Amino acid sequence: MKSTLKAAIICSSLVPCILMPAHGADLRMSWWGGESRHIATQEALTACGAKHGHTIAPEFTGFSGYLEKLTTQMAGGTEADILQVNWPWLPLFSRTGTGFADLRDLSDQIDLTQYSDKDLASVTVQGHVQGIPVSTSGRVFFFNKTTLDAAGLTAPTTWEEFFTAAQELRAQKGDDYQLFNAVSESAQLLVQLAVTQKTGKDMVDPETNRVAWTVDELAAGLLFYQRMVDSGAIQSRKDEAAEGNVKLYEKTSWSQGQIGGSYEWNTTYFKFSDPLAEGQVLDSYPMVRFADAKTDGVYRKPSMLLSISKNSDNQDAAAQILNCLMNEPEGITALGVTRGLPASAVAMSALEGAGLIEPQLRKAHDIMMNSTGPAVSPFNEHPELRGVFIDTMEEYSYAMIDAQEAAEIIIDSANDVLSQFDPS
């Protein structure tokens, strides 16, 4: 009798676990971002959690260090249920399409019809949908209109106009002024832009998964960068280091309009316009091109994806929340454009209808979407490949090696990295 009673108690305590629907789950979500994204996402999680009856613990940080944290968690199987993942990291975490939960298996909870086939293809690995594409982002040209106007200049449309404007700006306003900013990642992407415009090719050949450029083509790109330094259009690597590698939007010279522009992600417009002194106006402009460019060379890619952990005990609940964040009014309204203009059709239409898309963001987005360029490989941003590119550019900037040697080192090292991903 006693043992029967004990068994009944145990069974009755287990029944709710077995029959428990995707309600009342305790979830975690991790992301990177700035202050506005942190606040908006927490609001969205509260709203979506209340709607679906789940509790979601937020785990947020800046971009710096997020990859390291995520990697450690993924290695230990302790990652959050819902994860923000940078698109170029897909080959790192899900080489065979099994790094995250396949969202097709959760399509009764997530409305995948809101996304274009192209967007879904970009987050699909070997037939497995590894996340929801959040938005598309790309590099665009921002110029300080006030600075240009004060010097009687217009934003350049060709690189020759660019160099003339750089010279004119210094002649008019003094040597404290420079037309443009390019350091570290931005400098690397400017070199890539120049080579892509000349060759019409992305750095990584999608067919062979090797560097698509020849040594001479890349060396020409590096010489183009050096011309920018020599002409005073941008600051040298050494001078940037002397300033303590301060971020552009933290520089006084940027806020005072002494730096005329930069080549930045379209979604970061307000990060760069907010610090400007009162009266200064930042605007987005079409891609600056070579006269004989084969393409605009825009560096455009899915910005990030929201994935569900394959180790999550509550994948259905996580999928409900994910769908709410991206496709339901509570999430859409709270998140706004804090992750760029949404890829979700219903979210885009809701935000446009409510007038929640700032015209400056819309303009930068349209320029990026309307510019031409080859498809960008996620391997462009492989940490090791990017590290080699930037380190070698630094050696070149300090005149330790010439452009030809630098190009050879970059291509050889990049091919070494890419070969690690050859099918075994």
Partner 1 sequence: MTRSRFLGLGYLAPYIVGLVIFTMIPFVGSFYLSFTDYNLMDAPRWTGLKNYIELFTSDRTFRKSLSVTLIYVFTTVPLKLAFALFIAYILNYKLRFINVFRTAFYVPSILGGSIAIAVLWRYIFASEGLVNMVLVSLGIEPVNWFGDPTNALLTISLLRCWQFGSAMVIFLAALQSVDKSLYEAAEIDGASKFTSFVFITIPLITPVIFFNLIMQMVQAFQEFNGPYIITQGGPLKSTYLLPLYIYDEAFRRFDMGYASAIAWVLFIIIMALTLVAFWSSKKWVYYAGDKRS
| Minimum CB distance to partner 1, residue 96 (Å) | 10
Instruction: Please tell me the distance from the alpha carbon of residue 118 to that of residue 273, in angstroms, as a whole number.
Output: 32
What is the smallest separation between the CB atom of 424 and partner 1, expressed in angstroms? Answer: 11
Say whether 133 sits in a helix, a strand or coil: strand
Nearest Cα neighbor of 221 from 15, 406, 9 is: 406
In sequence order, the 6+-apart residues with CB closer than 8 A to the CB of 326 are 114, 132, 134, 306, 332, 342, 344, 347
Q: Does 378 engage in binding with partner 1 (CB under 8 A)?
A: no
Residues shown for the chain: 424
Shortest distance, CB of residue 143 to partner 1, whole angstroms? 25
Instruction: Label the pairing between strands 132-144 and 282-285.
Output: antiparallel
CB of 104 to partner 1, least distance (A): 22
Compose the 82-121 pattern: x for residues touching partner 1 by CB under 8 A, - for all others. Answer: ----------xx-x---x----------------------
Give the pair of three-digit tokens for residue 374.
């080859």
241 vs 348 by CB, closer to partner 1: 241
CB of 332 to partner 1, least distance (A): 33
Q: Compare residues 67 and 112 and give the one whose CB is closer to partner 1.
A: 67
CB of 100 to partner 1, least distance (A): 12
Residue 86 or 197: the one with the smaller Cβ distance to partner 1 is 86
Radius of gyration in angstroms for the set of CA atoms belonging to the chain, rounded to a whole number: 24
In 3D, which of 46, 18, 28 has the Cα closest to residue 318?
A: 28
| Positions 31 through 70 that interact with partner 1 (CB under 8 A) | 67-68
C-beta of residue 245 within 8 angstroms of C-beta of residue 271? no
For residue 409, the minimal CB distance to partner 1 (Å) is 11
Joined together, the tokens standing for residue 341 give 């203009």
CB 300 within 8 A of CB 391: no
| Options 58, 383, 404, 415; binder of partner 1; rule CB under 8 A | 383
Q: How far apart are CA 124 and CA 236, in angstroms?
A: 40
What letter would DSSP give residue 213? S
Asked if residue 394 binds partner 1 (CB under 8 A), the reply is yes
Six token digits for residue 6: 């004990």
Stretch that binds partner 1, among 134-142, 289-297, 309-317, 380-388 (CB under 8 A): 380-388
Q: Does 239 bind partner 1 (CB under 8 A)?
A: yes
Nearer to partner 1, 172 or 420 (CB): 420
Among 112, 241, 345, 350, binds partner 1 (CB under 8 A): 241
Among 216, 243, 402, 416, binds partner 1 (CB under 8 A): 243
Indicate which single residue of 391, 402, 412, 416 sits in contact with partner 1 (rule: CB under 8 A). Answer: 391
Name the 3-class secondary structure at 100: strand
Q: Which is nearer to partner 1, 239 or 358 (CB)?
A: 239
Tokens of 143: 């110029």
| 31-50: burial string, b at 16+ Cβ within 10 Å, e else | bbbeeebbebbebbbebbbe
For residues 275 and 271, what is the distance between their CA atoms, to the nearest angstrom?
Answer: 7
Q: Examine residue 381 and tell whether it contacts partner 1 (CB under 8 A).
A: no
The CB-of-178 to partner 1 minimum distance in angstroms stands at 14
Q: Which of 42, 71, 157, 255 binds partner 1 (CB under 8 A)?
A: 71
Rounded CA-CA distance 170/178 in Å is 7
Please work out the total of residues on this chain that contact partner 1, with binding judged by CB under 8 A.
28
Q: What are phi and psi of 390, to 5 degrees?
A: -70, -40
CB within 8 A of 45, min separation 6: which ones?
A: 29, 56, 58, 321, 325
- State the minimum distance, in angstroms, from the CB of residue 75 to partner 1: 4
**Nearest CA-CA partner of 55 in 97, 25, 84:** 25
Per CB under 8 A, which of residues 305..334 are in contact with partner 1?
A: none
Contact between 238 and partner 1 by CB under 8 A: the answer reads: yes
Q: How far is the CB of 207 from partner 1 (least distance, A)?
A: 25
Q: Which stretch binds partner 1 (CB under 8 A): 108-116, 144-152, 187-195, 392-400?
A: 392-400
Residues near partner 1 (CB under 8 A) are 67-68, 71-72, 74-75, 92-93, 95, 99, 237-246, 383-384, 387, 391, 394-395, 398, 400
